[in-house]
Amino acid sequence: MKRLAVFASGSGTNFQALVDAAKRGELPADIALLVCDRPGAKVIERAGRENVPAFVFSPKDYPSKAAFETEILRELKERQVEWIALAGYMRLIGPTLLSAYEGKIVNIHPSLLPAFPGKDAIGQAYRAGVSETGVTVHYVDEGMDTGPVIAQRAVPIVPGEPIEALEARIHAVEHELYPAVLRMLLGEKEQQEERIENDGSETSIDQRLQ
């Protein structure tokens, strides 16, 4: 079973969805650590209730991103973390973590990237008057929501609906899609080798989630 760290900055609903999926046996992962950059965030309470260790820090207490990421890396290595899932973590990942976990950091974003990257993606789409938005799971690189897309799900915007209704529908999709994608990713290498050995075929994660 892979050891997974979740990075979050806010209420932690996606953190909770991953923990719940793991408890149900739907996500083959040990949620080994919460990393949170906002002391007092609700996600810390969630981690405490779920007996998930938390590393909580204030970036302003460090001279640089490299300094606090070095400490995060120490915590990750101490707990033998193999994958990182960003779940509402409101900071760009820097070279220290990107180099240590190359190809093993993923993020969930509430839009159909590349549309509406960055903060308040749901509000951006709502105000733009588009007919649909959605959810994207992608690999993390040095940019803001610019890494390769792994899977997406569209969510229609109903004319005249309050933004709160759209937010609720998007969150429901997030809580289903993220555990499903991570379940595929955590066993991806083994599954990929098996598919190629058996029939030489290769399909994308998004296709296998259909």
Q: Which residues are catalytic?
A: 109
Residue 130 in contact with residue 156, Cβ under 8 Å?
no
Beta pairing class for 2-8 and 83-86: parallel
Name residue 155's beta-bridge partners: 133
12 is in an annotated binding site: yes
According to DSSP H, which parts of the chain are helical?
Answer: 13-23, 42-49, 65-78, 95-100, 121-128, 163-186, 188-199, 205-208
For the chain, give the number of residues: 210
182 is in an annotated binding site: no
Residue 86 in contact with residue 106, Cβ under 8 Å?
yes
Residue 142 in contact with residue 120, Cβ under 8 Å?
no
In angstroms, the CA 21 to CA 84 distance is 16
93 is in an annotated binding site: yes
144 is in an annotated binding site: no
91 is in an annotated binding site: yes
18 is in an annotated binding site: no
In angstroms, the CA 57 to CA 72 distance is 9
Binding residues: 12-14, 65, 90-93, 107
Binding residues for (6R)-10-formyltetrahydrofolate: 65, 90-93, 107
